[in-house]
Amino acid sequence: SHTTVNNEDKNTTQLTNIDSHDKQLNKLTPRIRPLFDDKCMGSLDKERFNKLTQVCDDCSNVIRETHVYINCRRNCFQDVMFENCVKVLELPREEFILHANMLARLVI
- Whole-number Å distance between alpha carbons of 101 and 37: 13
Residue 54 in this model has a pLDDT that exceeds 90:
yes
- Flag whether the pTM goes above 0.85: no
Q: Domain map of the chain by residue range?
A: 46-103
Alpha helices in the chain (DSSP H): 7-28, 46-63, 66-77, 80-88, 93-103
pLDDT one-digit tens code per residue, 3-31: 555 555 554 444 444 445 444 444 443 34
